[in-house]
Structure 1
């Protein structure tokens, strides 16, 4: 399948927000297109994340969202691959791998030491995909969250 990947901008807001909303629903969140759009718009306007989109025939079918972090051991910038989503009908066609590869290129372009990510243990698609893309599973750490 032919697809292209490019950095998202505000002109992509409508389509990207729809996909972001679908992504949230995938993770069992209540659909809220308005808040999804506001969230993505703020990330783009404030340069708080970098988003790459995958397009098939000029239709946005997938995205990856990266947030800048800093690695305490390497003492360098790294990127958190926070969100990766491809519409179900476009899965298995290399688009997720393409988005991950573009994220790796972004690390090189920005002088970052690498990418990190976390996903649910029940995300069988992601837990199969990430090792195929060269990610190593870190069994030495537990990840905890605090929510207010």
Structure 2
């Protein structure tokens, strides 16, 4: 299969938002294309995240979204691989690996020390994919959330 990976821009907002909506549905969120589009538009306009799109058959079929972080022990910038999604019709064709590889290249281009990610324990595909792509499981840390009551 022929595919291309490109950095997304505001010009790609509609295609990116459609994939982002499917990604959120995958994680059991209600469909809300317009709210997702607004969210992504803000990230693009404020330069708060980097999105790479996988293109195949003339359309966007997958994406990865990265956010800048700073690592406290390495004292260097790193990237949070926050979102990774490939449309179900294009899974199993190496696009997730290609998007991860592009993220690793972005680390090199930006002088980052690496990538960090988290996924649900129930995400069998991701929990198989990430170690295969060179990620190491960190069983030493607990992961907590605190949510503001807006």
Q: CA deviation at 1:102?
A: 0.1
Provide structure 2 residue ranges, at least 5 long, that are not aligned to the other structure.
Answer: none
Q: CA deviation at 1:68?
A: 0.1
Give runs of aligned pairs for residues 1-148 of structure 1, distance below 5 A. 1-148=1-148
CA RMSD of aligned residues (A): 0.5
Looking at structure 1, the residues matched to 103 and 97 of structure 2 have their Cα atoms a distance apart, in angstroms, of 10
Q: CA–CA distance in 2 between the matches of 1:125 and 1:2?
A: 23
TM-score (norm 1): 0.99
Shift of 1:58: 2.3
Q: Give the Cα separation in 2 of the matches to 1:93 and 1:125.
A: 13
Q: Please list every run of at least 4 consecutive aligned residues from structure 1 whose deviation after the TM superposition is greater than 4 angstroms.
A: none
Q: Distance in 1 between matches of 2:57 and 2:77?
A: 34
Structure 1: runs of 5+ lacking an equivalent: none
Please state whether the residue corresponding to 2:146 is helix, strand or coil: coil
Instruction: List per-residue Cα deviations over 1:11-45 (Å, max 9, x = no partner).
Output: 11001000000000000001000000000100011
Per-residue deviation, 1:57: 2.6
- Give the secondary-structure state (helix, strand or coil) at the position aligned to 1:14: helix
SS in 2 for 1:141: coil
